[in-house]
Amino acid sequence: MPHITVQLWPGKSDQQKTKLAEEITENVMNVLDYGEEAVSVTFEEVSPEDWAEQVYKPNILDHPENVYKKPGYNPFE
């Protein structure tokens, strides 16, 4: 605990994902005061054509109370 899922468009390299997972882990450890053994990070690739329905609507639009950093665009506009 905690487990972080990063949803993103396909195309990022394993090296980029590994670096991001390391940075996320370091920040979780610093901000939330957990040890490295408590943090896990996964990546879920979602195609651009599926983004609005699979990510934006269910995770952002339908649950604004859970969003602490809002995106700068709305794919439904």
Catalytic sites, residue numbers: 2
8 Å CB contact between 26 and 46: no
- Can you tell me the distance from the alpha carbon of 66 to that of 5, in angstroms, rounded to the nearest whole number? 14
- Can you tell me the distance from the alpha carbon of 74 to that of 65, in angstroms, rounded to the nearest whole number? 16
- Can you tell me the distance from the alpha carbon of 10 to that of 27, in angstroms, rounded to the nearest whole number? 24
